[in-house]
Amino acid sequence: MSPVFDLLRLSSVSMDVMAAKRGTAQGIAQRQQVRLSQLLSAALRDSRLYQELMPRGTDARTPLDQLPVVTRGQLMERFDDWVADPRLKLDELRAFTADPDRIAEPWLGRYMVWESSGTTGQPGIFVQDAQAMAVYDALEALRRSAPRPLAHWMDPLHLSERHAFVGVTGGHFASHVSLRRLRNLNPWLEATTRSFSIQEPTADLVRSLNEFAPTILITYPTVAALLAQEAESGRLRIAPREIWTGGETLGAGVRAYVEQRLGGVLRNSYGASEFLAMGWECAHGQMHLNADWVILEPVDERYRPVPPGEPPHAMLLTNLANTVQPLIRYELGDHVTVHAEPCACGSPLPVIEVCGRQDDPLHMAGREGGAVTLLPLALTTVLEDDAGVFDFHLRQIDSRTLVLRLPLEGEAGQAAMARCRSALKAFAAVQGLAPIRVRAELGEPVPRGRSGKACRIVACGGSHQGMEDT
């Protein structure tokens, strides 16, 4: 089974990635322009949707700010017209991503496919060809700041390392798909790289990690914090030399706590389903945007550019690596500030600050007393995968009570609420919680932030306050 891999493409992209890193900001801008022209040419030639959307007279030389802004909902509604390959059909891809046994299986023998978690409606479906995967592979391998440069120089393929990915393993999500693909590509990794589900009981997760003893831990900031708590208690006994986080906002306090309790050096990354490897921290602790392959436009409410250093209302993404599923001025939703000042590390890549909302874990009453921590990502996955609900707002009232808001009404709303209640209570029982109450709010809109992202999971007071209500 092909892992969607082209050695010649990877070699060519890798050489350019290394050259760009040693180049200038002007060189980055030139690469952007060449790749943008190639992307526009491909979209105008192969995408029926973009042929309709683009203003009359648009060609490969049209400035980016003269092109229309697009949204996920708009593109997914016209998926079959959006993609460049007419063999890509949304209904078939939905069925494919619904099957966990087919994670990382090449679609049509030539595409990697993953889904987003989704904030409204059903999840987005994203398709990557060998060119896009070569770009992501090169950026991940060559732009990652190595906390132990000598060790990585002696072992560039990480053959002596044991990588543990702790996340959602039951769905076709980008990180898990990518990891499974790498294991398919390199059988050696089967023994040295493992995935662990955040949906299993914490005690089981801790036991499995203790047995595996990873040297590199890959996870989300909230999961890293939970594991740090387990290490502090003495239950988790791993000593990772490096901790790679991403997918959520990372605060300074969480970083310090994780590094102190787990003992490894933490490096944060920034990526999305729309572009897997947007940025990695350098040794100076600054996040650098891979601007030679992705364009981020910070804009205000009217999609006008905001000055460098000013927080935007929205962020527009253009993926310069993927021509089979063009993303041009796509409203990403994240809050990202782009800074004009160069980094002291000397990189020509711009410095960005990811300012997205941080979801606090929920602390609920345990069946045997004490507190049990629930991660927002795990709850989101339960509601999406087990209950089949994608538009919701779940907030904690106290250590035993949750309020679930669904915009649905009538019989459909009642049925969806029943599925959610069942899924949440089953998950709570597996996690060792005392019996919980799930109050219903039907027919109410889901609250959203300024970026348009739904506020999906809210902890009681954003802290341990819930335990005071026990």
The HSE-up count of residue 233 (CA atoms within 13 Å, CB side) is 11
User: Looking at the chain, how many residues does it have?
Assistant: 470
pLDDT average, residue stretch 191-203: 89
Domains and CATH numbers, the chain: 7-354 (3.40.50.12780), 362-469 (3.30.300)
3-state secondary structure 361-382: CEEEEECCCCEEEECHHHHHHH
Is a pLDDT exceeding 70 seen at residue 468?
no
Rounded CA-CA distance 35/20 in Å is 14
Rounded CA-CA distance 341/351 in Å is 7
Residue 99 CB contacts under 8 Å (≥ 6 apart), including other chains = none
Per-residue pLDDT of 432-461, as tens digits, reads: 999 999 999 999 887 754 223 457 788 875
Per-residue pLDDT of 113-166, as tens digits, reads: 999 865 445 689 999 999 999 999 999 989 887 666 555 555 555 667 899 999
**pLDDT value, residue 370:** 87
3-state secondary structure 56-82: CCCCCCCCHHHCCCECHHHHHHCHHHH
Say how many C-beta atoms besides its own lie within 10 A of residue 150's C-beta: 8
Rounded CA-CA distance 12/134 in Å is 9
Say how many C-beta atoms besides its own lie within 10 A of residue 209's C-beta: 22
Per-residue pLDDT of 362-386, as tens digits, reads: 999 999 888 998 888 788 888 888 8
Model pTM?
Answer: 0.80
Is a pLDDT exceeding 70 seen at residue 71?
yes
